[in-house]
Chains A and B, each alone.
Chain A
C-alpha cells in the first residue's frame, strides 16, 4: 500500500520530473551497458557464457537497486547511478582485458555496494557516529603497521597483502577509517586536544605509507588531512603551517634518501624516457589516448592494454583509446560531479560529522583522480594510484563505494524517516 503511494509520489510528484528523468537515465544506462556487453562479447570469446552471466547479473542488480531505493523507497539515486555507470565500465574493461578476473571484479563491485549500504545504515543514527572513533583509529594504524611488516615489495611499493588467492591493499580500507576518525572527533569542535590527537594519528598514517614507498597514497591521505583540518579549524594559517612543515619534512626526506627523487626524475621529460621505466607508461598512454580520437578504436582493439597496469593505473589512457576521449573525459567530469554533490550535501548535513566526512571523501576522490589522470598524462609525476570506481581492483572498488557512502550520508534526503527532525535542523541553521 505504502509502496504504491511512494511510487506514485516518485513518478507523479507535482512539479517534479525527477522520477521520469531517473527512469530515462536508467534506460539509457541499460542501453549503453547492453551495447558494451555486445561489444565485449562479440567475436570469438571463449569466456562468452561466463561473461554474459556477469553482465546480465550486473544490469539486473542495478534495476533491483533502482526499484527498491528509487521506486519503493522514493529516494534520489543519482549518485548511485553515476557509480553504477563507472563500475560497469570497470567490469567491461576487466572482461575485455583480463576476462579471468571478471568474477573478482564483479564480486568487488557488489562487496562495495554492500559496504555502501551497510555504512549508510550504520550512519542513520547520528549519535552512533563517533562511538567507534578510538577502535577505528587503532585498527587503522594497526593495519598499516601490519602491512608494512608483512607485505612484500610489489612494483616499488610495499602495500599488498596476500591471503591465499586473495590480494588486498589495506591502505584502501584504511582510507575510510581515516575519514571516519577525522570526522568523528569533530563534535568536540574547538577542543585542541582532539585536534592534536588527530594530527598524531594522521602523521602516523602518512608516515607508515611513506615507509611503504606508497607516495601517491600518502599524498592522498595528506590532502585529506588538510581538508579535515581546515573544516575543523577554519584556520588558513594552521593549514599553511602544516603545509610548510610537510614541505620541510619532504625536502629533508628527499635529501636523506635521494633515490626516491629518481623515481620522479622523468617528470616532464617522458619523451626522453620512452624506452625505460621512467616514461614508458606515460608515453604509451598519451600515444594511445590520442590514437582513439573522440570515439575510440573500439573495446578490444587497443594496444595500451599490453602495457603493464593498463586497466589499473593507465585506465584513463585505455578508455581514451578503446572507448574514446569523450568517454574518458566524461568519466573524469562524473567524478568531479560526485565531489560537487558532496559539497552541496555537506552544506545541509545533519551534523558536522557528515559535513566533514562528505568533504573529506570528496577531496579524496578529487585528489586521487587528479594523481591518476594527470599522472599518466605527465601533468603531475606518476605515482601509480587508481582511478576511483573505474580502475580494476577489489580494494580500490570497495573503498570507492565507501567514500560514496560518506557523501550520500550527508544528503539530508538519505534518511527520510525523520522529516520533523530534518525540518527542525534546517530551521536551526
Chain B
C-alpha cells in the first residue's frame, strides 16, 4: 500500500509535463497569433481572399485612398488617383504585386493579441504622397507606359508616384491579360522596371570621368556626327564640332562620351555605376525590393561596345527608383536617404504603431564630385534645355532618348531642383514615346511646377 502511494508521483510528473507543453503552446500562440490571424483565409478579415476589414490609407493631405465601409473595401474618389496609385495601394484581390494593402497588412488590420480581430477599425496608414499630384503625373504619362516619381532629397519622402499602364480597381478591364496596352500591368514599374537608360547614363559616365580623369575639364572632343571605334561606328544625334566635357554633356554628344568611356575603361565605368547605387537591389523602407540594374561594361567588353555603354546603350539596364535615388544623392551632397512613401500607421487612439525611420540608401559619392556633377546638370538646363521649360524653377537634369530596336525610343528625364529650399528630385520614363526632352522632360516639368505651386 505504502509503495503504491509513492508511485502516484507519476501522475504529478505526467501533469507537469502536460502543463509545460501547455505553457509552450501559449507561448507559441502568443508569438504567432498575428501571423495566423492575418492569413488570407481568415474570414474575419478577408472574404475569399479579399481584404474586407482594414484601416484607412490616407495621403499627405488626409485624402482617403482606401478604406472599409460596410465590410467592403473602397478606394479614392477620383478615378485617376485610383489608377495612378493602383500599384502603391494594391488591389484587394491580390493581383498587384507589392501593394501596401499586402506589405503593410499587419499594420493596416491592427491585429492585437488582447482584442483579437475585435478592433475592426484597424489602423490608419499615412502616406507621404500627394494624391492630386499623383493623378496629374498619371495623366502626364498618358498614353504611354512608364512611371514618374518625385522625392524630397533631404528626407527621402516620396511625394508623387504614378505608374502606367494601370487600371481603375472599380472597373477592372476584362482584357488585361490579352491587350498589348496592358502589358506588365501588374508590375510597379518604379520598383520593378528595368530600362535602357540612354543618355541619362551620361551622368554616370560623367561621375566616373570627374573622379578618374584629372584633366577632363581641359579636354576637347571633335564630333563629326559619327565616330569609328573598335571596328564599328558610334552615331551621334547631331554634328557637334569641337566640344568641351561640359558642352558634351549639355548637348548629349555621343561621340565625346564614347571617347570618355573608352578613356575611363570598363572597370572605372562599372565602379561609377556601383557608386551611383544603380547595380544593387534596394530593400526599401516600404518593404519593397527594387530590380538591380545591369552595367554592360565588363572585362571582356569590346571597345565599340564600351563606347555604346558610356552613352547608356548596349546591354545596360537601370531601375527608375535607383536612378531617382542617385539624383537625390547628387543633389544632397553625395548621400541620400532611401526613398519611402509610408510615413506611419496610427491606431484608433492616435498612437503611432509604425513610423518610418529614414535610413541611408547606401549611396556615397565624394561630396566634391557630387557638387561638380550638380553644377554640370544645372548647366544642362540653364545653358541648353532652357529654364523657361520649368517655369520659375532652377532645375538641374539630364534627358535620355533610349534607342530600342524597331520601336519608338524610351524618353527619360532625371533631375532635381538646384534650390534646396525646394528640395525635390524627379524621375520620368515614358516608354516608346520619342524624344527625352519633349516627352519625359515635359512631363517632369509639369509635375515639378505643379508641386512648386502647391508649396
Contact = CB atoms under 8 A, between A and B. Distances in A.
B11 A362 contact: yes
B12 A290 contact: no
A333 B112 CA distance: 24
B32 interface: yes
Q: Among B24, B26, B34, B117, find the residue whose CB has the most chain A CB atoms closer than 10 A.
A: B117
Contacts of A415: none
A294 B18 contact: no
Contacts of B11: 227, 339-340, 342-343, 346, 359, 362-363, 366
Contact of A296 (B9, B10, B116): B116
Nearest to A296: B116
Nearest to B39: A287
Interface stretch (B40-48, B201-209, B266-274, B323-331): B40-48
A395 to B, nearest CB: 23
B21 A370 contact: yes
B44 A336 contact: no
A363 B5 CA distance: 15
Contact of B115 (A293, A356, A428): A293
A369 B18 contact: yes
A286 B34 CA distance: 11
B455 interface: no
Contact of A231 (B2, B10, B26, B114): B10
Contact of B22 (A283, A321, A332, A340): A332
A366 B113 CA distance: 27
Contact of A293 (B1, B10, B41, B117): B117
A374 interface: yes
Contacts of A339: 11, 14-15, 18
B406 interface: no
Contacts of B118: 293, 295, 297
Nearest to A223: B14
B19 interface: yes
Nearest to A294: B114
B142 interface: no
Interface in B90-122: 112-118
Given A347-B8, A377-B25, A291 B44 contact: yes
A194 to B, nearest CB: 15
B7 A333 contact: no
A333 B22 contact: yes
Contact of B18 (A293, A355, A370): A370
A288 interface: yes
B15 A290 contact: no
B7 A336 contact: no
Nearest to B23: A329
B21 A231 contact: no
A325 B29 contact: yes
Given A325-B29, A336-B19, A359 B8 contact: yes
Given A374-B21, A374-B25, A363 B37 contact: no
Interface in A347-367: 347-349, 351-352, 355-356, 359, 362-363, 366-367
Nearest to A320: B29
Contacts of A286: 29, 32, 36
Contacts of B3: 234
Interface residues of B, number: 40
A413 interface: no
A279 to B, nearest CB: 11
Contacts of A377: 25, 28-29
Nearest to B44: A291
Interface string A218-246: 00000000010011101000000000000
Given A297-B118, A374-B25, A377-B29, A366 B34 contact: no
A346 B115 CA distance: 41
Given A333-B19, A336-B18, A339-B15, A290 B36 contact: yes
A209 B7 CA distance: 28
A369 B42 CA distance: 26
Contacts of B15: 336, 339-340, 343, 362, 366
Given A289-B29, A297-B44, A346 B39 contact: no
Given A295-B115, A295-B116, A333-B19, A287 B42 contact: yes
A274 B45 CA distance: 17
B39 A231 contact: no
Contacts of B34: 290
Contacts of A388: none
A196 B447 CA distance: 91
A303 B44 contact: yes
A355 B114 CA distance: 42
A342 B9 CA distance: 11
B8 A274 contact: no
A429 interface: yes
Contacts of B1: 351-352, 428-429
B10 A290 contact: no
Contacts of B4: 189, 231-232, 234, 352, 355-356
Contacts of A332: 22
Q: Among B18, B39, B115, find the residue whose CB has the most chain A CB atoms closer than 10 A.
A: B18
B350 to A, nearest CB: 21
Given A287-B37, A293-B113, A339-B14, A230 B7 contact: yes
Given A343-B15, A355-B8, A374-B25, A289 B36 contact: yes
A274 B29 CA distance: 18
Contacts of A429: 1-2, 5
Contacts of B9: 343
Interface in A314-351: 321, 324-325, 329, 332-333, 336, 339-340, 342-343, 346-349, 351
23 contacts: A227-B10, A231-B10, A234-B4, A274-B41, A284-B41, A288-B42, A291-B45, A292-B117, A293-B116, A294-B114, A295-B114, A297-B117, A303-B43, A324-B116, A329-B22, A339-B15, A343-B15, A346-B11, A351-B1, A356-B4, A359-B10, A363-B11, A379-B28
Given A290-B29, A333-B22, 8 more contacts: A227-B14, A231-B4, A289-B29, A289-B36, A291-B37, A340-B12, A346-B11, A348-B5
Q: Which 4 pairs of residues, A with B, have the shortest CB-CB distance?
A: A293-B116, A290-B36, A290-B33, A343-B11
Interface of B: 1-5, 7-12, 14-15, 18-19, 21-22, 24-26, 28-29, 32-34, 36-37, 39, 41-45, 112-118
